[in-house]
Amino acid sequence: MRRKTNLTGLLFAAPFLIGFLLFTLYPTGASLVYSFSDFNLFKPLKWVGFANYEWIFKEREVWKSIKNTLYMVIIATPITLFCGLMTALLLNMKVRGQSVFRTLFYIPSIVPVIASSLVWMWVLNPQSGLINSVLKTIGVNGPNWLLDSGWTKPSLILMLAWSSGGVMIIFLAALQDVSKSLYEAADIDGANTLRKFFHVTLPSISPIILFQLIMSLITYFQFFAQAFMLASLTASGPDQTMAGPEKSLLFYAILLYREAFVDFRMGHASAMAWVLFLLTALVTWIVFITSKKWVTYGGE
């Protein structure tokens, strides 16, 4: 009877186990092997030791991509978290049509990347775009958003802030879970709105802030889709670099993709993937360690 029960359980778990083995465990192990080899899908695997990792530290484009990626990690992470939190605070207020406003602010986060990129290509068009047209009415000449290397990454951050509805909805759920008695106690002590925000709201939602921070860091270390679309849409001629003007859109994940699926250097791409994994794990670990000083859990 017990063997029959175990067999039944394994049969129900089989789809997950097979999928995990084929699409997670095997690719992970294979990429580790490829990272120490010269392999391009068209010739036999050749063992090269740490040569691929040495290439990472010597290649200028890799360092350029790391610089661009760290820009997004350091700048885009706090901006998108701030926008999501501020939007959640506004949508947490009791106003007429509250559900309509929440829906409108959440919709951009579920718009497909291709569609949103095309929309933003028009919005950021230097001649006829919405933003520059508005700036022109007040006598300001808008920048060349997508073709000026100094403005390409701010353009991406603007897009990300616009689509921060996913961050907003999680913050909104956290805000609604803050105990009303804490606000009542703060009112009795004479705390104003600002003090209540810093001494009641933020400590109460600090575990959610930690979660959002970790997820944002992981996302921006792997930043790819929006930059890939903008670099592809603004490329001229047979440009296969996917780097944007002056390589300002060459992010680490884009270079990894190019090495793997454009130049077919799987060894380089696999080594880059493992370096990215280790770097992300290190930063995540540091955030977890430092979170003990600013995250407050219930009952503490």
What is the set of domains in the chain, with CATH numbers?
47-111+165-293 (1.10.3720.10)
pLDDT tens string 71-117: 999 999 999 999 999 999 999 988 888 889 899 999 999 999 888 98
The residues, ordered by sequence, that sit 6+ positions from 150 with a Cβ below 8 Å of its Cβ are 143, 248
DSSP state of 225: H
Closest by Cα among 98, 146, 97, 156 to 122: 146
pLDDT, the chain, mean: 90
Residues in the chain: 300
As a whole number of angstroms, the distance between CA 144 and CA 277 comes to: 35
**Residue range 174-186: average pLDDT?**
91
Residue 296: left if φ>0, alpha if ψ -120 to 50, beta else—which one? beta
- Please give the pLDDT value at position 76: 95
* 154 burial type by CB count under 10 A (0-12 exposed, 13-18 middle, 19+ buried): middle
As a whole number of angstroms, the distance between CA 215 and CA 167 comes to: 10
pLDDT tens string 2-51: 676 778 888 888 889 999 999 999 999 999 999 999 988 788 889 999 99
Q: Report residue 248: phi and psi, to 5°.
A: -75, -15
As a whole number of angstroms, the distance between CA 68 and CA 249 comes to: 7
CA 83 to chain centre: 14
- Please give the pLDDT value at position 231: 85
As a whole number of angstroms, the distance between CA 116 and CA 112 comes to: 6
Asked whether the whole model's pTM tops 0.75, one would answer yes
Q: Report residue 164: phi and psi, to 5°.
A: -90, 25
Q: Report residue 222: phi and psi, to 5°.
A: -105, 20
pLDDT tens string 232-243: 877 655 555 678
Report residue 250 as tokens: 């060459």
- Name the strand (E) or helix (H) holding 37: strand 37-38
